[in-house]
């Protein structure tokens, strides 16, 4: 039978008290598997160390994917919750404990109606979202290739308890990481003309890269370039042999993402040529942008209204989310990433971050009904 609030709270508090980092979620995986197996829910074979994929339904209709994440963060919890983390230096500071609990509730609710479902549901409990690697790894296993669309969940302290954040189009950014090493020729600081100094090149590069957003792309297209780490030299009287900088670029559409990478490489190469240094560019493409399907957003508002749940316009963010891996691989497919208002006085990734478990039943009801509505309309 479906989980009561007390059941949901018990699961939520157990997961919160025992957080695990990405690709180390063995206890969480076992809890999920045991809970699902005890209700005769089919578990699909997953060739990863952690994570679970459940399958519900026998219908010949569409296959709907629901995805949540399950990993915690390397943060020391500073709340006074009675179920606060029992693991030093690790806490659920982003709500993944809430996400996992919701999807367990959805699984059990759908199991009750399994024989009457017009299609099937795959519920994905994904590891390592915080590492931005779990979505890539799980989507490439092929286990959810038959899903026609995906629904995702995330807590949001900026909304009142139970309010659903919904918005069409891009809602979270593509996340790319770069590292640039500039190789010159070291020499004594008193004789700069006898070497090739990488420091002025690095300094120029810091300011030049800001033109990616201010001059080289459409000002109405969000672009962010943050340089977060620089190193050059190790003493006061020696011009170093090399220097490096690294950081991240965030964009909201595939077209702008490709354009910005091209501009980035050209700026690095042209600056290096001007200062006679040799550049080495390391570009690490992360998860694509999360782009919500307009038709699914409209359906989500209808479902929310039918359940008496409030909706609000979801805010864009240049934070990343590897939920996008399921929307782009092995093909483009529609999806929606819904934020669930969970109250609280602190933002995600803060040592005092909390979610209100009273929001659990509404979230379970919404995603259960949303999965059924998607099967009926697809």
Task: Express each pLDDT in 247-283 by its tens digit.
Answer: 999 999 999 999 999 999 999 999 999 999 999 999 9
Hey, what domains does the chain have and what are their CATH numbers?
Answer: 5-168+293-377 (3.40.630.10), 172-285 (3.30.70.360)
Predicted confidence (pLDDT) per residue in 297-342, tens digit? 999 999 999 999 999 999 889 999 999 999 999 999 999 999 999 9
pLDDT of res. 315:
87
C-beta of residue 196 within 8 angstroms of C-beta of residue 277: yes
Mean pLDDT value across residues 150-156: 98
How many whole angstroms from its chain centre is CA 292? 14
Q: What is the mean pLDDT of residues 154-169?
A: 96
1 pLDDT exceeds 80?
no
| pLDDT over threshold 90, residue 161 | yes
Q: Tell me, what's the pLDDT at 273?
A: 98
pLDDT value of residue 59: 86
- Rounded to the nearest integer, the mean pLDDT of the chain is 97
CA dist 52 and 21 (Å) reads 16
Per-residue pLDDT at 222? 97
Looking at residues 24-51, what average pLDDT do you find? Answer: 98
How does pLDDT run across 127-141, given as a tens digit for each residue? 999 999 999 999 999
* pLDDT given for residue 165 in this prediction: 98
Residue 378 has pLDDT above 80, yes or no: no
pLDDT of res. 377: 85
The pLDDT tens digits of the residues spanning 10-27 come to 999 999 999 999 999 999
Full-model pTM: 0.95
Mean predicted confidence (pLDDT) in 143-157? 98
């Amino acid at each position: 039978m479906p989980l009561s609030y007390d059941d949901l709270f018990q699961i939520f508090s157990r997961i919160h008290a025992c957080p695990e980092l990405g690709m180390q979620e063995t206890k969480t995986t076992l809890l999920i598997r045991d809970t699902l197996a005890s209700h005769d829910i089919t578990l699909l074979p997953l060739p990863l160390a952690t994570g679970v994929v459940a399958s519900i339904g026998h219908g010949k209709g569409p296959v709907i994917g629901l995805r949540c994440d399950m990993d915690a963060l390397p943060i020391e919890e500073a709340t006074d919750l009675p179920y606060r983390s029992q693991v030093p230096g690790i806490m659920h500071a982003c709500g993944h404990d809430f996400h996992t609990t919701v999807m367990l509730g959805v699984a059990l609710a759908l199991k009750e109606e399994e024989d009457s479902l017009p299609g099937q549901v795959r519920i994905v409990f994904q590891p390592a979202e915080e590492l931005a690697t779990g979505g890539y790894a799980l989507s490439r296993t092929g286990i959810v290739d038959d899903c026609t669309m995906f629904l995702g969940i995330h807590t949001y302290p900026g909304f009142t308890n139970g309010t659903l954040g919904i918005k069409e189009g891009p809602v979270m950014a593509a996340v790319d990481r770069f590292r640039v090493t500039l190789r010159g020729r070291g020499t004594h600081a008193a004789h700069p003309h006898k070497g090739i100094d990488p420091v002025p090149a690095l300094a120029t590069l810091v300011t030049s890269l800001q033109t990616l957003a201010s001059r080289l792309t459409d000002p109405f297209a969000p672009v962010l370039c943050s340089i977060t780490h620089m190193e050059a030299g190790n003493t006061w009287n020696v011009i170093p042999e090399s220097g490096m900088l690294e950081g991240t670029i965030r964009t909201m559409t595939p077209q702008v993402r490709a354009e910005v990478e091209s501009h980035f490489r050209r700026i690095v190469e042209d600056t290096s040529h001007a200062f006679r240094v040799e550049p080495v560019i390391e570009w690490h493409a992360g998860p694509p942008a999360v782009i919500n399907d307009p038709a699914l957003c409209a359906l989500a508002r209808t479902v929310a209204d039918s359940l008496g749940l409030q909706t609000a316009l979801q805010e864009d963010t240049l934070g990343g989310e590897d939920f996008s891996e399921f929307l782009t691989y092995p093909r483009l497919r529609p999806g929606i990433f819904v934020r669930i208002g969970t109250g609280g006085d602190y933002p995600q990734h803060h040592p005092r971050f909390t979610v209100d478990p009273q929001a659990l039943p509404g979230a379970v009801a919404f995603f259960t009904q949303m999965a059924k509505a998607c099967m009926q309309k697809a």
